[in-house]
């Protein structure tokens, strides 16, 4: 398996633009997590899915952020409109079952100018 | 807010030496996990220790867990340059959500 795949790896956009980050989890994993990592706040869980259903989105910073998982092999995290404070590295991770190790993707480095 | 706090924040050692870092947490946990992150990369799982375990080994890694003190330690023996990375502890509160600490940055000098 190729591991968790994220695209794009780098994204530079201007304030106010819509940004869509993509994730393909490891096949057979039933949990998918979106994290954000910044120097100031460290690694924060934004939202996670179980069997394609959003379970906990309490970490989503505000309504500008939304996430979907239309099927078991694809998830998106959308920011609309983007702001400079959204600049961070966004990670997607997946796991098989609960209480197990999480496998992280390489991340998307987002810069909002 | 972060559940786990790593100590020290940064550590610099000579190749071949051992590196020890600690993690303290606030509430009861199901398990505690350690991850490594190389610069510019995603996190890689190292080891998981359950709340009813006290010590676990994996290659050159040794993890201890003291639930009475709400603390864990990660020991890397005979360090190598490739061990240069940030190390994070993550507490599993309810079997599906992990709370990560701020990390310990380890530099191994050749």
Using CA atoms, how far apart are residues A91 and A106, in angstroms rounded to an integer?
Answer: 7
Condensed to tens digits (0 to 9), the pLDDT of residues B31-62 reads 999 999 999 899 999 999 999 999 999 999 99
State the CB neighbour count (10 A cutoff) for residue A20: 14
Residue B97: which of A4, A45, A91 has the nearest Cβ? A45
Question: How far from A21 is each of A103, B26, B68, CA to CA, in Å?
Answer: 17, 33, 41
Using CA atoms, how far apart are residues A102 and A85, in angstroms rounded to an integer?
Answer: 27
Residues in A touching B97 (Cβ below 8 Å): 45, 48, 56
From the CA of B23, how many Å to the nearest CA of chain A? 15
Residue from B79, B105, B65, B89 nearest B19 by CA: B79
- The answer, for A93 touching chain B at a CB cutoff of 8 Å, is yes
Condensed to tens digits (0 to 9), the pLDDT of residues A39-75 reads 999 999 999 999 999 999 999 988 999 999 999 999 9
The answer to whether A106 touches A6, Cβ cutoff 8 Å, is: yes
Using CA atoms, how far apart are residues B78 and A98, in angstroms rounded to an integer?
Answer: 33
Using CA atoms, how far apart are residues A75 and A93, in angstroms rounded to an integer?
Answer: 11
A54-93 exposure pattern, b = at least 16 Cβ within 10 A, e = fewer: bebeebbeeeebebebeebeebebebeebeeebbbbbbbb
The answer to whether B51 touches B30, Cβ cutoff 8 Å, is: yes
Condensed to tens digits (0 to 9), the pLDDT of residues B60-83 reads 999 999 999 999 999 999 999 999
Which of the four pLDDT bands, split at 50, 70 and 90, describes residue B27? confident
For A101, residues 6+ apart whose C-beta sits below 8 A from its C-beta are A95, B33, B45, B48
| pLDDT computed for residue B5 by the predictor | 84
């Amino acid at each position: 398996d190729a591991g968790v795949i994220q695209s794009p790896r780098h994204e530079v956009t201007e304030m106010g633009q819509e940004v869509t980050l993509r994730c393909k989890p490891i096949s057979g994993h039933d949990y998918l997590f979106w994290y954000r990592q910044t120097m100031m706040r460290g690694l924060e869980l934004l939202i996670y899915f179980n069997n394609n259903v959003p379970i906990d989105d309490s970490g989503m910073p505000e309504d500008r952020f939304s996430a979907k998982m239309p099927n078991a092999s694809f998830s998106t995290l959308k920011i609309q409109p983007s702001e400079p404070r959204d600049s961070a590295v966004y990670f997607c991770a997946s796991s098989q079952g609960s209480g197990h190790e999480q496998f992280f993707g390489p991340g998307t480095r987002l810069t909002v100018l | 807010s972060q559940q786990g706090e790593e100590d020290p924040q940064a550590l610099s050692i000579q190749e071949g030496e051992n590196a020890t870092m600690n993690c303290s947490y606030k509430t009861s946990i199901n398990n505690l996990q350690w991850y490594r992150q190389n610069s510019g990369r995603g996190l890689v799982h190292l080891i998981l220790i359950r709340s009813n375990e006290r010590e676990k080994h994996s290659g050159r890694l040794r993890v201890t867990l003291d639930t009475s003190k709400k603390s864990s330690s990660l020991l890397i023996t005979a360090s190598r340059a490739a061990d240069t990375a940030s190390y994070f502890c993550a507490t599993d509160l309810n079997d599906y959500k992990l709370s990560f600490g701020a990390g310990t940055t380890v530099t191994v000098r050749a």
